[in-house]
Amino acid sequence: MPSPPLAPIDSPLDLDHLSRMTLGDAALEQEVLAMFAEQAVRLMAAMAGLPAEAGALAHKLKGSARGIGAFAVADAAASLETAIQIGHNERHAFAALKEAVTEARAAIETILKS
């Protein structure tokens, strides 16, 4: 699997990565983005109270985010996983993840409308 870019990107989504992962199929890109946006909403709602399974849910979101090139979401989900494992700053990590997901979903919405 290709590595994420070393330099930060201006968008919450690495569209080049997404294109590589979908083999340049624009329809598949749209479908995958829509699925991710819906999944992110469900997972964030399920993690809201930081239940016992929040670490596993964050891990799931991290993998999905990496698949579509939402690397800020993936990094924030990884930070939440770590915070839960060490039992420190879980609420702060969840808030950062929520912000990253919001930004990614806004970018996805813009792409899906075009």
For the segment 78-109, what is each residue's pLDDT rounded down to a tens digit?
Answer: 999 999 999 999 999 999 999 999 999 999 99
**7 pLDDT exceeds 50?**
no
| Non-local CB neighbours of 74 within 8 Å, separated by 6+ positions | 61, 62, 63, 65, 66
Q: Give dist(CA 98, CA 96) in Å, integer.
A: 5
Give the single-character DSSP code of 95. Answer: H
17, burial (CB in 10 Å: exposed 0-12, middle 13-18, buried 19+): buried
Confidence (pLDDT) at 28: 97
Q: State which CATH number among 1.10.3470, 1.20.120, 3.40.630, 1.10.155 fits the domain covering 15-113.
A: 1.20.120
CA 114 to each of CA 30, 84, 91: distance values in angstroms, whole numbers, following the listed order: 10, 38, 35
Element spanning 81, H or E:
helix 71-86
Q: Rg of the chain's alpha carbons, rounded to an integer?
A: 14
The pLDDT-based confidence of 11 (bands split at 50, 70, 90) is confident
Confidence (pLDDT) at 4: 54
